[in-house]
């Protein structure tokens, strides 16, 4: 057996299909986020300053001085690691505090922290469903890979409902006896198109047909709701949802994932999920940073408001320049390229020629023909950076002969120009 040949061939397959991923070697600058240093491959000692436009540290909380301070202080006080699994000496005070903070955020009896959001979905969905006799899982067609893996691992029967189609969900629910255990799993905000789930309608169906609800709020926690509790909080549905899953790695800027729910449910997952039991705990520094970010965002909406303003500003500016922005009501700004090779080329051009980093999103993350650049404005981007982004994208669109949506290109402010010259009222408002 030529083992190495197999791996080389596997990689060649991906390259042929334009699915091979290459990573940008970045050094984020906490104080100057979204600026970072980028080291082009093979040029290890020649870093270039670039602007990151695709970070999932949506609010820039990873660079918040109080969050950093909490992390450093906890590392100094308690050391670099947790020292074990939760059961074997790894249950440290900062992680217990974090779980209380998260339960409070979602107004649930309890919460359980995992090493990532991916693991929390795998563990949460599979454990909950497998503890229910003959459970049927009803899963939205566009659910994240971690949820699909959770459904698979549960070993339960599953039915997929068409994305955000509550009529289809109802059809599937109505076909089952009311007394059969059912778990509806869905996301509150789908991060590739940026569309919201009809949370209240799904909750209403769950109640009518006796189902449990499990919501992934990964792209919403910290960012929606008066205290950052997510879309369910914003929509007044948080108390109606049985299980809320979130990450500490996106809006909260750190690392880790969690579920929140009733005391009995959390205790059961704690006691049965191998993904929780047999792995070491997140270190105190990570837990303390997350607690601080959650606490800050419970008390302040300034970051959320500025985040939404920046997202609206970017969408508006891109549309004005005739760039094909996919319309949605959230903070996600997808710009459709529709071709894998050109999407990769657009991303490379942005980085090499313009110092702007936006990762290409290709199949299988999105459907073929809908390849895109996914832009994530943060409260820490400024108006000059928005103007530079639009100019760079227009140049890339022209270079690659990509289609514009309208012929006219509205002139944009140049970096460094006076705020008064701003052509977009929202930009003016957001300029600080
Ligand atoms: C990123 C993501 C996760 C995984 O969260 P991590 O903390 O990054 O592991 C789960 N669900 C969705 C919808 C995601 O986009």
Lowest mean pLDDT among 182-186, 195-199, 294-298, 421-425: 421-425
Contact assessment for residue 82 and residue 280, using Cβ atoms and an 8 Å cutoff:
yes
Closest atom of ligand 1 to CA, residue 256:
7
Closest CA to 255 of 290, 220, 229, 279: 290
Question: Percent of the chain having pLDDT more than 90?
Answer: 91
DSSP state of 420: G
Q: 141: part of which helix (H) or strand (E)? A: none
What is the best residue among 149, 193, 250, 255 to mutate for testing ligand 1's pocket, by most ligand atoms within 8 Å of CB?
Answer: 250
Residue 85, strand partner residues: 280
Name every residue whose Cβ is closer than 8 Å to that of residue 369 and which is 6 or more positions away in sequence: 338, 339
Q: Which residue has the tokens 């169906």?
A: 205
What is the best residue among 144, 150, 374 to mutate for testing ligand 1's pocket, by most ligand atoms within 8 Å of CB?
Answer: 144
Tokens of 50: 């670039």
E strands, 337-389, in order: 356-357, 360-361, 372-375
Q: Considering only CA atoms, which residue is closest to atom 8 of ligand 1?
A: 117
Q: How far is the CA of 115 from the centre of ligand 1 (A)?
A: 11
Active site amino acids: 250
User: If DSSP codes are grouped into helix, strand and coil, which group holds residue 35?
Assistant: strand
Alpha helices in 108-187 (DSSP H): 117-130, 145-154, 166-174
Closest atom of ligand 1 to CA, residue 249:
7
- Around ligand 1, the residues with Cβ closer than 6 Å are 116-118, 121, 144, 146, 187, 191, 216, 218-219, 247, 249, 257
Q: Considering only CA atoms, which residue is closest to atom 6 of ligand 1?
A: 117
Distance CA 169, CA 44 (A): 52
Q: What is the pLDDT of residues 299-330, one digit of tens each?
A: 999 999 999 999 999 999 999 999 999 999 99
Contact assessment for residue 166 and residue 141, using Cβ atoms and an 8 Å cutoff:
no
Distance CA 340, CA 422 (A): 35
Contact assessment for residue 124 and residue 147, using Cβ atoms and an 8 Å cutoff:
no
Q: How far is the CA of 14 from the centre of ligand 1 (A)?
A: 23
Q: What is the pLDDT of residues 113-168, one digit of tens each?
A: 999 999 999 999 999 999 999 999 999 999 999 999 999 999 999 999 999 999 99
Q: Global pTM?
A: 0.93
Sheet (strand 360-361) strand order: 333-336, 372-375, 360-361
Q: What is the pLDDT of residues 322-372, one digit of tens each?
A: 999 999 999 999 999 999 999 999 999 999 999 999 999 999 899 999 999
Contact assessment for residue 238 and residue 230, using Cβ atoms and an 8 Å cutoff:
yes
Q: How far is the CA of 321 from the centre of ligand 1 (A)?
A: 32
Contact assessment for residue 169 and residue 203, using Cβ atoms and an 8 Å cutoff:
no
Q: How far is CA 149 from CA 120, 272, 339, 389, 425, in A?
A: 11, 17, 28, 36, 45
Closest atom of ligand 1 to CA, residue 187:
13
Distance CA 19, CA 365 (A): 10
């Amino acid at each position: 057996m030529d083992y190495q040949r197999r791996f080389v061939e596997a990689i060649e397959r991906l390259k042929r299909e334009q699915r091979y991923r290459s990573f940008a070697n970045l050094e984020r600058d906490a104080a100057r986020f979204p600026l970072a240093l980028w080291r082009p491959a093979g040029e290890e000692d020649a870093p270039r300053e670039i602007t990151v436009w695709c970070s999932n540290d949506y609010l820039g909380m990873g660079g918040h001085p109080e969050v950093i301070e909490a992390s450093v202080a906890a590392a100094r006080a308690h050391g670099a690691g947790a020292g074990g699994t939760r059961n074997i000496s790894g249950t440290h005070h900062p992680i217990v505090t974090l779980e209380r903070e998260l339960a409070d955020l979602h107004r649930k009896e309890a919460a359980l922290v995992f090493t990532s959001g991916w693991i929390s979905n795998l563990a949460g969905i599979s454990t909950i469903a497998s503890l229910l006799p003959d459970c049927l899982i009803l899963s939205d067609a566009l659910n994240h890979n971690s949820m699909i893996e959770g459904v698979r691992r549960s070993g339960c029967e599953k039915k997929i409902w068409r994305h955000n189609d509550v009529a289809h969900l109802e059809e599937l629910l109505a076909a089952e006896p009311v007394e059969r255990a059912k778990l509806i799993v869905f996301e509150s905000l789908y991060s590739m198109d940026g569309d919201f789930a009809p949370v209240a309608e799904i909750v209403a169906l769950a109640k009518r047909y006796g189902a449990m609800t499990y919501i992934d709020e990964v792209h919403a926690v910290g960012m929606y709701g008066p205290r950052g509790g997510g879309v369910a909080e914003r929509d007044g549905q948080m108390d109606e949802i049985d299980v809320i899953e979130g990450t500490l790695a996106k809006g909260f800027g750190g690392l880790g994932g969690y579920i929140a729910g009733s005391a009995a449910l959390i205790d059961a997952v704690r006691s049965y999920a191998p993904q929780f039991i047999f792995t070491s705990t997140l270190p105190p520094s990570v837990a303390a940073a997350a607690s601080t970010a959650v606490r800050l965002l419970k008390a302040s909406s300034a970051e959320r408001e500025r985040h939404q303003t920046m997202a609206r500003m970017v969408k508006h500016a891109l549309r004005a320049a005739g760039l094909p922005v996919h319309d949605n009501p959230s903070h996600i700004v997808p710009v459709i390229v529709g071709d894998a090779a050109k999407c990769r080329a657009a991303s490379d051009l942005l980085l090499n020629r313009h110092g702007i980093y936006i990762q290409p999103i290709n199949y299988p993350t999105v459907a073929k023909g809908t390849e895109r650049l996914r832009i994530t404005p943060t409260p820490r981007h400024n108006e000059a950076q928005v103007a530079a982004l639009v100019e760079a994208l227009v140049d890339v669109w022209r270079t690659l002969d990509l289609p514009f949506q309208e012929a006219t290109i509205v002139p944009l402010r140049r970096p460094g120009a006076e705020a008064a010259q701003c052509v977009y009222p929202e930009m003016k408002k957001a300029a600080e």
